[in-house]
Structure 1
Amino acid sequence: MPHAPRLLIIGLDCAEPSLMFEHWLADLPTISRLIAQGSYGRLESCVPAITVPAWSCMMSGRDPGELGIYGFRNRADRSYQRMVVADGRAVRVPRLWDILGEAGWQVATLGVPGTYPPYPVNGALVSCFLTPSTELEYTYPAALAGKIATWVDDYLLDVPDFRSEDKERILRDIYKMCDQHFTVAEQLLVENEPDMLMMVDMGVDRIHHALWKYMDPQHPHYTEHPRLSDAIHAYYQHVDGRIAQLLQHCSEETAVLVVSDHGARPLMGGVRINEWLQQQGYLSLRQVPESPMPLDHSAIDWQQTRAWSAGGYYGRIFMNVRGREPAGIISPAAYERERTALAEHLRSMLGPDQQPLGNRVFVPQQLYRNVRGIAPDLVVYFGDLAWRALGTVGGGELYSTENDTGPDDANHAQHGLFIFHDPQHPDHGQEITNASIYDILPTLLARYGLQPPAGLSGKTLPLAALSRPV
């Protein structure tokens, strides 16, 4: 082989450590070999543990507050209902491939969340699932899109409508997307001969959300199915095989990192957080809907509202502060007292069985090293991510077993995973504990003798290739 990558990174969005390390490891020969010859462990994600911003946190070593990205959608300004998608333009710090490119490495990135719109790198870039369509420019250089069209048919950036009841179609699209992305990665290795290639497979995330209830007897909607009950297990095996094929294009000296941004768990239901805020006197409506409806479509009396929320896999609570929001009513002097009281109120929330739900409530200014942009006033994990936040209001019910954005079987879990195999410095199956998503960048830069950007919060993991202790 005339040229092989020095570093190959395979991201598996939402890959769950309990499934990969405990239940199914014997069925994953490629992963088993990488673990046996390298280091591995659970990887604590950022808060919130969600694709956007987690991959950018991992690759930049910066937390969501430093990035100013608090989720898939963020407040664009202090108006009440203007939320915008946080695409790659929101990331204003260098990520791993930028740093390597500056050091002279040829790089290739494929499907890494936070890379749309595409931008110049020292090599090639194929943008991520945030890309609206392949009709738009989605590669750098632009001519790369033409090559991709010759390598695969009808390139999928994501699984269309993965929150639907058409499970067989979703499953077909997940496999199609996976195979296309691994094929493009193989072609980039052959044609571009990069020093580093990073790809992220979104199929693991999509199959968890679409099909978890068929696999897990602990799921409230557990359903046995002759084909779908084994679908997640079979997909993990398929990905393991595609990783093996990709490694055939690498040399025996290529270092390999397999990593996920967060894990997964069964979704037990939804907390209708705006309904709760209304019942507790924080949110006031001029007219209360008889049945659940989106908050954006409701007649909110902002002059009587102290707090409202955005839905999602976690809750984001926004407070209506005088002089900050257009019709704010909480005085700045009372803000911290009101926020603390609301946080304690949320922590004491009871579930539908009248037992404590087990909510975790985070204050951005206490959680992050810096707070850029417009952060939520509080971030909430309902039932420690066993429940998601439903943004609808009306109808009176606080809990739902149905999702407000379409069928969804899984929520995210706080810990993802990593496996690092460096053939030149084998670790022989070392398990590393207390690893964080912020440790990946400084560890990789230390491995290759590159100076990290100033002010990173992550530590260098104790790999055999590194003499420095943790």
Structure 2
Amino acid sequence: MDTLIIGIDGGEWDVIDPMLESQELPNLSSLIQSGYRAPLSSTVPPVSPPAWTSIQTGTNPGKHGIYDFSTFDRDYRRRSINASDRRATPFWQVLNDMGVSTGLFKVPFTYPPGDIDGFMVSGFPTPNNISDFAIPEGAANIVGSPERLFEDSSYQRNGDYDAFMSDLLDVADRQTSILLNLLDEYDTDLVMTVFDSADRMQHFFWKYFDEAHPRYEPDEALSDAIPELYRVIDDGIGKLLNRAGPETNVIVLSDHGFGPLAYDIHIDEWLQANEYFSPQSTRSPREVISMASSRMVGLSWELIKSLGLDDLVKEIILPETVLSAGKSLKNAPQNRKSADWKNTKAFFTTLSGQSIYINLIDRFSDGIVSDEEYQQVVDDLRSELLELRHPETGEKLIRAVYDSRREFDGWAVEDAPDLIVESDPLYTLKDGHSDSLIQPSKQYKQERSGDHRTDGILIASGPAFGEGKLADAHIMDIAPTLHYLHDCPIPKVMDGDVLSSVFADEIIHSREMQFTGGYGEMERNSRNGLRRKNKS
């Protein structure tokens, strides 16, 4: 193994640094002392789907086309995205073409897995009831059920935070064990894994950890949940370092940082009051049936799991055709919510996306905004959002509103939501009806007390790297840096730069930076993943 990349989803220096000072993270400490550290800037917004995809491709979302966990079709139906929606080439495909073998384990947004020289076990979000989550087949046999890779979210939804904490810790510990078993079987030049439990833990346990949180709640067990997870991850890093050996170059990174969250801004209420969004008073029969069916399927599966019958149902009672149908149903388009689209100029996307679509005639089936009106609607909405204030304190709630046509560049910009909103760090936008604009932050009816920050973490340590601190780096810099690390040409299509400052002098003086064309836009292919266009 020449290179080991370890991702910590939501890894945050404000959590790590105090633990380094108290000597609780010996393996991260060792890597930092013998290498480089830096803040790592994320995408706009700093959310996992676009961020991890920019890490994978070295491109901005305007090229890779991933903006959120889901997207909307012309009829306002929402569907989940996966790796087949990626429209730029990930670094491992390019490295494979150049003779570098790669092993990926739990890297987010790699389902369904594609051809690879090495092995791939797909990461979040991977459906539970499928068998095509890993290649080659032997890798799937080592893992077992994909449910072993991820936490049981029903604990959080039901408010059982002790069980949720225990489950997240178990998932992180088990992740290291499974990866070590995979490394016994597969020898690749580069290995990448991502500990995604950190994101979930910090979303829901931040108020127990942070005494400065507006809703801080002391709890002897839960207050140590976040630090304990970092300890488990650090222990896993130590085991992986022992397996890799001292000659391996190691990169530790996160897709975004983390910090406290206290309040939801119910933006639909504001959009309605300002005549941008018009809710529909009654749902259509089709919408009612669709919502009821979706909820019944979800509740039924949670009940089956709670009774310990999920394996029996999957392996004995349900034939493969039914499981395939269930997988298709899960990824099928679903109505976002009812709306009077003929009187709606703009609508909010999702809690994760923090974005707004303009209801364009050319984009949506019931669009009402013409191309000629578009820029005026965008400008008006943007300026009004920037003046949004707390109804009681008068404080400004919105830090920035980004126009995607100016923020992004590439062939997939037209798929982007029109505006992306950055709120005050203690606030986040949320859809749905509310009795007031501002409410305590919740998700699945449970408190949500932590949220993403733009700056994540970066550590680079090993024979190829020097020592010191880097003022800043961007997640788009990771892929071109990996190409340079492996002495491979860098695709010209990449937007990031090689982080040349982190390399040892002998590497910089002896290794020329090379570039290549041929890795441009990739088309969607619903049956076979992605196919590359013949363009540079």
Tell me how far apart the structure 2 counterparts of residues 396 and 158 of structure 1 sit (CA, whole Å).
33
After superposition, the C-alpha distances for 1:369-403 in whole angstroms (9 at most, x for unaligned) are 125152111011221x432221102x441111032
Q: Tell me if the contact between 1:313 and 1:388 (Cα under 8 Å) persists in the aligned partners.
A: no
Distance 1:83 1:73, change over 3 A: same
Offset at residue 314 of structure 1 (A): 4.6
1:22-421 correspondence runs (5 A):
22=18, 24-25=20-21, 26-75=23-72, 77-80=73-76, 82-133=77-128, 135-149=130-144, 155-161=148-154, 163-164=156-157, 165-287=159-281, 299-352=338-391, 353-370=393-410, 372=412, 374-383=415-424, 385-393=425-433, 395-407=434-446, 408-421=448-461
Q: Is the 8 A contact 1:49 1:261 kept in 2?
A: yes
The DSSP-based 3-state class of the residue aligned with 2:120 is strand
Q: For 1:315 and 1:252, how far apart are their aligned partners in 2?
A: 43
Letter in 2 for 1:20: I
Q: Deviations 1:223-266 (Å, cap 9, x if unpaired)?
A: 10011111211221121111111111112100001110001111
Distance 1:40 1:29 in 2: 15
Contact 2:68–2:352 under 8 Å retained in 1: no
Tell me, yes or no, if the aligned pair for 2:357 and 2:417 is still in contact at 8 Å.
Answer: yes
With the length of structure 2 as denominator, give the TM-score of the two structures. 0.80
Gaps in structure 2 of 5+ consecutive residues: 284-290, 292-333, 514-536
Give the whole-Å Cα distance in 2 for the aligned partners of 1:175 and 1:286. 43
On the 8 A contact 1:38/1:427 being kept in 2, the answer is: yes
What is the alpha-carbon distance in structure 2 between the residues aligned to residue 83 and residue 221 of structure 1? 33
Change (3 A) 1:106 1:224: same
The one of 14, 28, 35 aligned to 1:18? 14
Q: Percent identity?
A: 29
- AA in 1 matched with 2:85: A
After superposition, the Cα gap between the structure-2 partners of 1:114 and 1:464, relative to the gap in structure 1 and judged at 3 Å, is same
Please identify, of 363-372 and 40-49, the stretch whose mean Cα deviation from structure 2 is larger: 363-372
Contact map agreement 2:69 2:352 (CA 8 A) in 1: no
CA distance in 1 between partners of 2:441 and 2:54 (Å): 31
Structure 2 Cα separation of the partners of residues 119 and 73 of structure 1: 20
For 1:326 and 1:83, locate their aligned partners in 2 and report how far apart those are by CA, in whole Å. 14
Taking a change above 3 Å as real, the CA distance of residues 211 and 404 of structure 1, as seen in their structure-2 partners, is closer
CA drift at 1:160:
2.7
Residue deviations 1:74-106, cap 9 Å, x none?
A: 12x2222x1111111111322122222222222
Match of 2:486 in 1: 448
Q: Which protein has the bigger helix share?
A: 2
Q: Please state how far the C-alpha of 1:172 moved relative to its aligned partner.
A: 1.5
Work out the CA distance in 2 between the residues paired with 1:71 and 1:148: 28
Structure 1 residue ranges without an equivalent (≥5): none
- TM-score normalised to the size of structure 1? 0.91
3-state SS in 2 of match to 1:66: helix
- Please tell me the root mean square deviation across aligned C-alpha atoms, in Å: 2.4
Partner Cα distance (1:255, 1:236) in 2: 21
Any conservation in 1 of the 2:398–2:421 contact (CA below 8 Å)? no
* CA 1:348–1:163: 2 relative to 1, 3 Å: farther
SS of equivalent to 2:502: coil
For residues 47 and 337 of structure 2, what CA distance do their matches in structure 1 show?
27
Question: Structure 1 residues 92 and 330, CA, compared in 2 at 3 Å: closer, same or farther?
Answer: closer
Structure 1 range deviating more: 152-161 or 168-177: 152-161
SS at structure 2 position matched to 1:8: strand
CA contact (8 A) 1:57 1:64 kept: yes
Counterpart AA for 1:168: D
Q: Look up the equivalent residue of 2:495 and give its one-letter code.
A: S
Moved more, 299-308 or 199-208: 299-308
Q: Which amino acid aligns with 1:452?
A: I
> Which one-letter code corresponds to 2:242 in the other structure?
Q
How many angstroms apart in 2 are the aligned matches of 1:236 and 1:157?
17
Preserved CA contact (<8 Å) 1:361 1:379? yes
- Distance, in Å, in 1 between the alignment partners of 2:30 and 2:375 is 52
Paired with 2:155 and 2:65, the residues of 1 have a C-alpha distance of: 28
Moved more, 165-174 or 319-328: 319-328
Q: What is the distance in 2 between the residues matched to 1:220 and 1:243?
A: 33
Q: 1:459 aligns with which of 486, 497, 515?
A: 497
CA contact (8 A) 1:158 1:202 kept: no
Partner of 1:433: 471
1:448 counterpart letter in structure 2? H
Name the CA distance, whole Å, in 1 between partners of 2:493 and 2:336: 43
Q: Following the alignment from structure 2 to structure 1, what is the Cα–Cα distance between the partners of residues 113 and 503?
A: 35
Aligned-residue offset at 1:135: 3.8
3-state SS of the aligned residue for 1:174?
Answer: helix
Q: How many residues align?
A: 455
Matched, 1:9 2:26: no
One-letter code of the match for 1:233? P
Q: Deviations over 1:310-357 (max 9, x none)?
A: 231452111122343222222321210110110011111102421111
Give secondary structure in 2 for the equivalent of 1:248.
Answer: helix
Q: 1:38 to 1:134 in 2, by over 3 A?
A: farther
